[in-house]
Amino acid sequence: MNSVLVYRLDSKTKSMVPLGILVDRRNHERGDNVIAMLRMARREFAGTDEEAASIFIKYEGGAADAGQVSS
C-alpha cells in the first residue's frame, strides 16, 4: 500500500497547503496509478472545478509527483 499526500496550491502565497492523505490499496501496478490517485484526490478534496485545478498529489516515497493533468 502506498500513501499519497494531497496538497492545494494557494494562489496568493504560492505555497503548498496540505489537505490530507489517500491510501492506494492496489496490490499491483496498473500503469495509471498516479493519474487515478490524482482524480480520486480531486473528487475527495475539491468542491468546485477551480479548486480541483489547484490540487496536487505527492507519493510519500517520493517516487512520483503529479500535478496538472488534462482531463
Reported as a single tens digit per residue, the pLDDT across 45-55 is: 998 998 999 99
| Those residues with Cβ within 8 angstroms of residue 60's Cβ, 6 or more apart along the chain or in another chain | 2, 3, 4, 5
pLDDT, one tens digit per residue, over 5-47 is 999 999 899 999 999 999 878 777 666 778 888 999 999 999 8
Residue showing cell 480541483: 52
How far is the C-alpha of 35 from the C-alpha of 24, rounded, in Å? Answer: 12
Confidence of residue 62 (pLDDT cuts 50, 70, 90): very low
pTM for this structure? Answer: 0.71
Residue showing cell 491510501: 23
